[in-house]
Copies of this chain bind each other. A is one copy, B any other.
Amino acid sequence: MELLRQRILAEGENLGRGILKIDTFLNHQLDADLMVAIGEEIARRFTAARPNRILTAEVSGIVPAVMAARALGNIPVVYARKHKPITMREPVYVETAPSHTKGGEVNLMVSPEFLHAADRILIVDDFLATGRTIEALARIVQYAGATLVGIAVVVEKTFEGGREALQHWHVPIEAMAIITDMSDGRIVILESE
A42 CB to nearest chain B CB (Å): 13
Contacts of A35 in B (CB 8 A): 66
Q: Is A85 an interface residue (CB 8 A)?
A: yes
**In the complex, which of the residues A27, A63, A67, A81 has the most CB atoms of chain B within 10 Å of its own CB atom?**
A63
A83 contact set on B, CB distance < 8 A: 101-102
Cβ-based interface call for A58 (8 A):
yes
Q: Is A33 touching B101 in the complex (CB atoms < 8 A)?
A: no
**A33 to chain B: closest CB distance in Å?**
5
B residues in contact with A62, CB < 8 Å: 30, 59, 62-63
Candidate in A27, A35, A86 with the most chain B CB atoms within 10 angstroms: A86
Choose from B28, B32, B113 the contact partner of A111 (Cβ within 8 Å).
Answer: B28
| Given A63-B66, A66-B30, A111-B28: A100 in contact with B85 (beta carbons within 8 A) | yes
Find the residue from A19, A58, A101, A111 having the highest chain B CB count within 10 A.
Answer: A101
Taking a contact as CB atoms under 8 Å apart, the answer to whether B78 and A100 are in contact is no
- CB under 8 Å from chain B, chain A span 32-84: 32-33, 35-36, 58-59, 62-63, 65-67, 69-70, 74, 76-79, 81, 83-84
Query: A70, B101: Cβ atoms under 8 Å?
Result: no
A15 adjacent to B87 (CB under 8 Å) = yes
CB distance from A20 to the nearest CB of B (A): 8
A-B residue pairs in contact (CB < 8 Å), sample of 28: A13-B87, A15-B86, A21-B87, A23-B88, A23-B111, A23-B114, A24-B113, A28-B78, A28-B81, A28-B87, A28-B88, A28-B110, A28-B111, A28-B114, A29-B76, A29-B77, A29-B78, A29-B79, A29-B114, A30-B66, A30-B69, A30-B79, A32-B67, A36-B70, A58-B58, A62-B63, A63-B63, A66-B66
